[in-house]
């Protein structure tokens, strides 16, 4: 992967991009079910024809990528910490093998930047903890510390403050091998398991991804294991004789100061714990972990909790041949993507439900017949994935009937609100041979999503009212979001789903609409929690508001249109760099990408701007950048796990969203709530 922006210098990219080769036209078997709309006034006949050809090619390409079982899944690319931690886990457990190590090292080396660092997204700045973990992994793979690429990395690490300046999770990994002192890490006692659900900082105050990680790490923190390190890491300290100089305490009256002193007290408690209580807490943590292991052996369908759960259970006496650990280790191999060059990339997660519902929506909006075998097969697969048992979400919503969908192949404990909304929107586009079955599933899903509405009228991703600000202040939680408050993009998708189900006037829908309107920025944009960034938030909010009955003439919609028109790149596309999460100067600034251009177009089309110049230029950019096989290239990261801290390149985004936007442009009002009601 090579950077195409001058990300390392911090210079803002221009609103221009070089023209790319046009693609050749090829016919598709996709069938349109609507008459071709009239040409927009003043538009040349060739422009719409080019968009139709691009739509047909894209539909054909996407249809060809469907699995025989009915699902779609693109690679989910994050950063090399996944690969480094996989090697560290294998070293810790003593299960490393030469082929895996070689392939992982090959991939990690390929991601190193010219300055010796590793970034967390394409074109981004070097990141200290990522660089430390990558460096250590390559040392485990046999790379010599004086090799040029390794020396460059270690020099940069020292310049940034060395290991002492790394995040807590990185130092935990190093502590497992004695490269860092456990005493110099924040304490995380397993007794947290016994905090009642009404008590501040109880387990369910954390978001689901943090909760799944924290429980096993309480075991690791209590046990403080150390495996013999195969080599020292003195070259990663600014002063090896004093690797962690004492840090000044924050004022006692501040939250940071209060939590620092709480951590100091917990360190004292660790020296003299209530032994029976500690033993019961460890047993409770073990049961909690085992109860949440999924049928495929993983935990939550996410690699990090799986890794820490395996370590925790192993420390509690479970040997590697125990069925729980055996299946857990096998599940980790499913996160590996082997590449043609022999390298091995680890996915942090897999996204088949998300990719499948988005692909179904894209194909339907592109004019593929609603009873096309591919769409029916996709619907069957999605229907079979609906979750019918309760999970951790029921702690805040006891008595609510389950009915959601998760993001992954296996994650029954943690269905999410966003996937559920989009699956419903996908199912409503399919003419299934058993409509009663679809309707039953859709109604169950809608009830569940409505039941997960937070008190403020909006929706988070996994839990209701997961809004405490305290967990983010813990010294332990210095990486990414650990809570799950409502967001504009998730709320927009639920509102859009409710509108398509004829619930436009339901008071709960209207509360969501009011919350969305109140969240609009002064600029006219919406913040994007799960996609980058304001382009994603705006591309989600405008279609939802219009579907819910907000007229295109509404001031909020007009402000959004003006903002999108104002941030369009000179080449006709849209792009936004992940640095917009930290630096306002980067908002809606970045090289044009296929997915972000599509999001902007989806908003403009919903706002009635089909005849506008901005739409014409955006569509032209998509047509001109399409590859000959009907796909688009998109090396840039346009998704997030945590804004800025954990970035994602969903490899199917570059296919599904451009197809959706082009389909809506070509077919106009192909699928709307009003048409569904008619």
The tokens 């304490």 sit on which residue? 187
What CA–CA distances, in Å, run from 401 to 390, 461, 519?
8, 17, 30
Distance of CA 668 to the CA centre of its chain: 30
Give the long-range contacts of residues 402-405, CB within 8 A, separation 24 or more: 402/444, 402/448, 403/441, 403/444, 403/445, 403/446, 403/447, 403/448, 404/445, 404/448, 404/449, 404/452, 405/353, 405/357, 405/445
Beta bridge partners of 77: 649
Q: What DSSP designation does 299 have?
A: B
For residue 640, the cross-strand partners are 647
Please report the DSSP string for 94-148 in residue order: T---HHHHHHHHHHHHHT--TTS---SSTTPPP-HHHHHHHHHHHHHTT--TTSH
**Strand locations in 542-666 (E):** 639-642, 646-650
C-alpha 445/C-alpha 593 separation (Å) is 33
C-alpha 69: how far from chain center: 24
Nearest to 229 by CA among 153, 174, 151: 174
For the beta carbon of residue 93, count every other beta carbon within 10 angstroms: 15
Please answer whether residues 575 and 528 qualify as being in contact, where contact means their C-beta atoms are separated by less than 8 angstroms. no
Q: How is residue 316 annotated by DSSP? A: T
Q: Cα separation of 345 and 353, whole Å?
A: 21
- 418 noted as active-site residue: yes
Partner residues linked to 531 by β-bridges: 639
Return d(Cα 155, Cα 233) in angstroms, integer.
13
Catalytic option among 86, 380, 418, 577: 418
User: So which residues are the catalytic ones?
Assistant: 418
């Amino acid at each position: 992967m090579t950077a195409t922006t001058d990300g390392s210098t911090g210079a803002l990219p221009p609103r221009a991009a070089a023209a790319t080769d046009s693609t050749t036209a090829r016919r598709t078997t996709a069938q349109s079910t609507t008459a071709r709309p009239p040409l927009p006034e003043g538009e040349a006949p060739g422009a719409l024809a080019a968009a139709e050809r691009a739509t047909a090619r894209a539909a054909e390409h996407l249809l060809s990528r469907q699995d025989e079982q009915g699902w779609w899944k693109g690679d989910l690319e994050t950063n090399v910490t996944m690969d480094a931690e996989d090697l560290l886990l294998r070293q810790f457990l003593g299960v490393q093998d030469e082929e895996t190590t070689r392939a992982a090292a090959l991939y990690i080396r390929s991601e190193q930047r010219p300055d010796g660092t590793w970034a967390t997204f394409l074109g981004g700045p070097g990141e200290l903890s990522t660089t430390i973990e990558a460096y250590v992994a390559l040392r485990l793979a046999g790379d010599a510390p004086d090799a040029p690429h390794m020396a460059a990395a270690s020099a940069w690490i020292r310049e940034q403050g060395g290991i002492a300046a790394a995040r807590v999770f990185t130092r935990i990994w190093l502590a497992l091998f004695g490269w860092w002192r456990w005493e110099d890490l924040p304490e995380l006692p397993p007794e947290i398991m016994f905090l009642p659900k009404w008590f501040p900082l109880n387990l369910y105050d954390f978001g689901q991804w943090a909760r799944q990680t924290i429980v096993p790490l309480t075991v690791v923190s209590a046990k403080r294991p150390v495996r013999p390190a195969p080599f020292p890491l003195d070259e990663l300290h600014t002063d090896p004789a004093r690797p962690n100089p004492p840090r000044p305490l924050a004022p006692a009256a501040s939250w940071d100061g209060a939590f620092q002193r709480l951590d100091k007290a917990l360190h004292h408690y660790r020296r003299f714990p209530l032994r029976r209580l500690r033993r019961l807490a460890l047993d409770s943590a073990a049961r909690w972990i085992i109860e949440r292991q999924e049928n495929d052996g993983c935990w939550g369908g996410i690699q990090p909790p799986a890794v820490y759960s395996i370590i925790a259970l192993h420390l509690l006496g479970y040997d590697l041949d125990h069925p729980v650990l055996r299946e857990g280790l096998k599940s980790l191999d499913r996160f590996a993507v082997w590449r043609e060059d022999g390298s091995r990339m680890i996915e942090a997660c897999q996204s088949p439900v998300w990719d499948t519902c988005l692909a179904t929506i894209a194909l339907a909006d592109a004019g593929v017949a609603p009873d096309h075998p591919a769409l029916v097969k996709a619907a069957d697969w999605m229907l079979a994935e609906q979750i019918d048992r309760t999970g951790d979400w029921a702690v805040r919503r006891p008595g609510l009937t389950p009915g959601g969908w998760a993001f992954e192949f296996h994650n029954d404990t943690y269905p999410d609100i966003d996937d559920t909304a989009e699956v419903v929107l996908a199912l409503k586009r399919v003419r299934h041979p058993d409509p009663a079955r679809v309707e039953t599933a859709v109604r169950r899903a809608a009830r569940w999503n409505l039941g997960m509405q937070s008190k403020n009228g909006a929706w988070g991703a996994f839990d209701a009212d997961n809004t405490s600000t305290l967990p983010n202040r813990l010294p332990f939680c210095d990486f990414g979001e650990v809570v799950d408050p409502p967001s504009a993009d998730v709320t927009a998708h639920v509102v859009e789903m409710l509108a398509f189900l004829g619930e436009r006037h339901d008071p709960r829908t209207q509360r969501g609409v009011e919350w969305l309107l109140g969240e609009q920025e002064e600029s006219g944009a919406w913040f994007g929690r799960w996609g980058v960034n304001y382009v994603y938030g705006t591309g989600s909010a405008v279609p939802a508001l219009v579907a819910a009955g907000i007229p295109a003439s509404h001031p909020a919609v007009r402000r959004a249109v003006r903002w999108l028109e104002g941030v369009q790149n000179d080449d006709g596309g849209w792009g936004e760099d992940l640095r917009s999460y930290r630096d306002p100067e980067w908002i809606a600034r970045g090289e044009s990408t296929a997915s972000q251009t599509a999001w902007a177009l989806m908003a403009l089309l919903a706002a009635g701007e089909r005849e506008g110049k901005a739409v014409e230029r955006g569509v032209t950019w998509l047509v001109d950048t399409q590859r000959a096989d009907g796909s688009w290239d998109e090396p840039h990261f346009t998704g997030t796990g945590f804004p800025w801290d954990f970035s994602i390149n969903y490899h199917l985004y570059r296919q599904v969203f451009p197809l959706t936007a082009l389909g809506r442009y070509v077919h106009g009002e192909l699928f709307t709530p009003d048409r569904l009601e008619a």
